[in-house]
């Protein structure tokens, strides 16, 4: 509903602004009017989806032509300068849209990475304080791995004798039968289990068995490295625990 409202405003507000400028068009240069319209595109890009910002850019150009260029109240432009201004208005509006959306994506990514780091720190704190039973810690980490990697299920297994067909290794690379997989392009394997071994002081203490069978998950390298760090927190806890779950 909110996005629809922004889209409607993106189509209507440029028309209203151009109509409001009509009484002043003899005193306001068209280039200045175009700058005002660019601000509307920026507002749409900052608050709504890409399509709303594109609508704002196209609507601004359309009504700029209709209200502010000669012949007035016609979708025709006879002045070369006004043609250039209209073209630049469209191009700048579209460019501003992409820049604003890029900024929002970067902000979301930074927030996401901060959340991953907080998860690792909290888990490390639990291990250092010894405040959680090992079974509780394993369940906590398994839930985090499901969330971070975008997978369906995660179970812990102390038996590491039979390896899974695919594995997330120390640097976050996913390897299947000796071959590195391009996870960000093709996603995690959906037709087999993926193992993530827990280690401490170079000794394997167990493994998390990951399943991504119902959807294609494409965790980034950073996300997979966070998963390795979380698994190793369990390895550290198991190294100091007197029994295995």
Write the CATH number for 223.
Answer: 3.30.450.40
Res 23: pLDDT = 93
Res 131: pLDDT = 56
Largest CA distance in the chain: 87
Choose one of 90, 106, 122: the last residue of a domain: 106
Q: Say how many domains are in the chain.
A: 2
Token pair for residue 10? 């993106």
Residue 245 lies in a domain: no
Q: Are 181 and 174 in contact (CB under 8 A)?
A: yes
Token pair for residue 130? 């010894």
Residue 202 lies in a domain: yes
Q: Which domain holds residue 159?
A: 133-240
Residue 114 lies in a domain: no
Classify each residue of 164-187 as buried b or exposed e, where b means 16 or more C-beta atoms within 10 Å of its C-beta.
Answer: bebbbeeebebeeeeeebebeeeb
CA distance 111 to 226: 15
Residue 91 lies in a domain: yes
Question: Do both 102 and 201 map to the same domain?
Answer: no
Residue 199 lies in a domain: yes
Res 244: pLDDT = 45
pLDDT tens for the chain, residues 1 to 245: 788 899 899 999 999 999 999 999 889 999 999 999 999 998 998 888 889 999 999 999 999 999 999 899 999 888 898 899 999 999 998 998 888 888 887 777 777 766 766 766 677 666 655 656 888 899 989 999 999 999 999 999 999 888 899 999 999 999 999 999 999 999 999 999 999 999 988 899 999 999 999 989 999 998 999 999 999 999 988 888 644 44
Token pair for residue 135? 């079974």
CA distance 144 to 132: 16
CA distance 197 to 130: 21
């Amino acid at each position: 509903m909110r996005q629809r409202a922004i889209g409607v405003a993106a189509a209507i507000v440029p028309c209203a602004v151009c109509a409001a400028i009509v009484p002043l068009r003899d005193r306001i240069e068209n280039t200045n009017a175009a700058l005002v319209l660019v601000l509307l595109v920026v507002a749409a890009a900052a608050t709504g989806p890409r399509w709303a910002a594109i609508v704002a850019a196209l609507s601004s150009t359309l009504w700029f032509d209709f209200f502010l260029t000669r012949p007035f109240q016609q979708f025709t432009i006879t002045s070369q300068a006004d043609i250039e201004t209209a073209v630049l208005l469209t191009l700048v509006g579209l460019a501003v849209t992409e820049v604003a959306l890029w900024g929002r994506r970067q902000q979301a990514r930074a927030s996401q990475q901060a959340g991953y780091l907080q998860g690792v720190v909290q888990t490390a704190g639990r291990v250092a304080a010894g405040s959680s039973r090992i079974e509780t810690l394993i369940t906590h980490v398994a839930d985090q791995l499901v969330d971070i990697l975008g997978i369906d299920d995660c179970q812990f297994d102390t038996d590491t004798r039979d390896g899974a067909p695919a594995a997330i290794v120390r640097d976050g690379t996913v390897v299947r039968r000796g071959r590195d997989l391009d996870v960000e392009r093709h996603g995690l394997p959906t037709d087999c289990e993926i193992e993530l071994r827990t280690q401490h002081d170079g000794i394997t203490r167990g493994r998390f068995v990951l399943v991504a069978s119902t959807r294609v998950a494409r965790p980034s390298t950073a996300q997979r490295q966070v998963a390795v760090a979380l698994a190793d927190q369990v390895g550290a806890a198991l190294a100091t625990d007197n029994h295995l779950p």
